[in-house]
Structure 1
Amino acid sequence: MAKGKDVRGVVILQCTNCAQKNFKKESRGTSRYITQKNRHNTPSRLELRKFCPYCYKHTIHGEIKN
């Protein structure tokens, strides 16, 4: 079987709120989730509302380049 272009690819979601705070020294890190998406049905970047353990609240996690 050929494993060329996978329709369902692995996507990394990163907290957009923590990514902006990453330049400050008091930031402990960034929240990241790993999920999958169908590249034919959703070609645009994925944004989901997930819980961030560093912000202690639900924030928008956007797809980053992996």
Structure 2
Amino acid sequence: MPLRKVALACVNCGSRNYTVSENKNRTERLEVKKFCKHCGKHTLHKETR
């Protein structure tokens, strides 16, 4: 079974800048601070499905 990818979207501008492998054991959506090239600063990114 191939690994599925999910996107991480910036909470400020909504841009989907990063992708991560889907984890079936994770019950809550992943939230990480990442650099957003559109906002020009580190912002919170949330997992989209």
> Take 1:50 and 1:61, find their aligned partners in 2: how far apart are those partners?
6
> Take 2:17 and 2:28, find their aligned partners in 1: how far apart are those partners?
19
**RMSD of aligned C-alpha atoms?**
1.8
Q: If the length of structure 1 is used for normalisation, what is the TM-score?
A: 0.61
Which structure features the higher share of helix residues? 1
Task: Report the structure number with the largest CA radius of gyration.
Answer: 1
- Give the conservation status (yes or no) of the 8 Å contact 2:8–2:17: yes
Runs of 4+ in structure 1 displaced over 4 angstroms? none
Which segments of 5 or more consecutive residues in structure 1 lack a partner in the other structure? 20-29
| Aligned-pair identity (%) | 39
Which structure features the higher share of strand residues? 2
Which segments of 5 or more consecutive residues in structure 2 lack a partner in the other structure? none
Deviations 1:3-62 (A, max 9, x none): 3xx7x642210101002xxxxxxxxxx24201124221x121111110000110000000
